[in-house]
Amino acid sequence: MAKALITYASMSGNTEDIAVIIRDALQEYELDIDCIEIEDVDVTALTSYDYVLIGTYTWGDGDLPYEAEDFFEAVKQLQLNGLKTACFGSGDYSYPKFCEAVNLFSSMLQEAGAAVYQETLKIELAPETDEDAESCRAFAKGFLAWADYMNKEKSHVS
Ligand SMILES: Cc1cc2nc3c(=O)[nH]c(=O)nc-3n(C[C@H](O)[C@H](O)[C@H](O)COP(=O)(O)O)c2cc1C
């Protein structure tokens, strides 16, 4: 069974709520899913997953949360060899750099050699509305469809 990691940094629970909706959406597929806080991830085991989804809120002036920094720096050192990844998070439009930490993760993963899903999911505060929840589910399903397509392309070429 394919393995998925959903990991998140969440101070007041908004990003965690998004992660849970994503997890529930992915549970409809045959996947072995770990959904854990970013500080509890064993970075050396990251490449044992088929899919990695990273969630973060944004802090300071478009900064990473403090508790995501060690994970970020450790992953940056890895060779991710096309690992299928996606990034999501919660932010607040009253700050000039809305959900910038999501973009920081996305760029870093790209540089570390991951295959990064082009779409990011950025939710204002908590995913409270039906529309927010639907965006989370669509993101999860879109990511898997994309990853599946990438896998087929790869096996077709080789
Ligand atoms: C000091 C501080 C700085 C913040 N800076 C940003 C920011 O630069 N960009 C942004 O989109 N949100 C910013 N936020 C808003 C949080 O990212 C937002 O409240 C988010 O929903 C928190 O997610 P969490 O519940 O998962 O911790 C900031 C919040 C605080 C308290």
Q: Where are the chain's structural domains?
A: 3-157
User: Per CATH, which fold does 3-157 belong to?
Assistant: Rossmann fold (3.40.50)
Please state the separation of Cα 7 from the chain's center in Å: 7
Instruction: Measure the CA–CA gap between 158 and 45, rounded to whole angstroms.
Output: 26
Q: From ligand 1's centre to the CA of 88, what distance in Å?
A: 13
Tokens 């990853």 locate to 147
Ligand 1 atom at minimal distance to the Cα of residue 9: 26
CB 45 within 8 A of CB 10: no
- pLDDT tens track of the chain, all 158 residues? 999 999 999 999 999 999 999 999 999 999 999 999 999 999 999 999 999 999 999 999 999 999 999 999 999 999 999 999 999 999 999 999 999 999 999 999 999 999 999 999 999 999 999 999 999 999 999 999 999 998 888 777 65
Residue 81 Ramachandran class (φ > 0 left, ψ -120 to 50 alpha, else beta): left
List ligand 1's pocket residues with C-beta within 6 A: 10-15, 57-62, 90-92, 95, 97-100, 125
Ligand 1: which of 12, 16, 95 to mutate, most ligand atoms within 8 Å of CB? Answer: 95
Ligand 1: which of 37, 63, 90 to mutate, most ligand atoms within 8 Å of CB? Answer: 90
Q: From ligand 1's centre to the CA of 154, what distance in Å?
A: 38
Closest C-alpha to 39, from 3, 15, 8: 8
Q: What is the pLDDT of residue 156?
A: 74
Angle at 37 between CA 56 and CA 66, to 5 degrees: 55
**Pairing mode, strands 121-124 and 84-91:** parallel
Q: What is the pLDDT of residue 158?
A: 55
Q: What is the pLDDT of residue 153?
A: 84
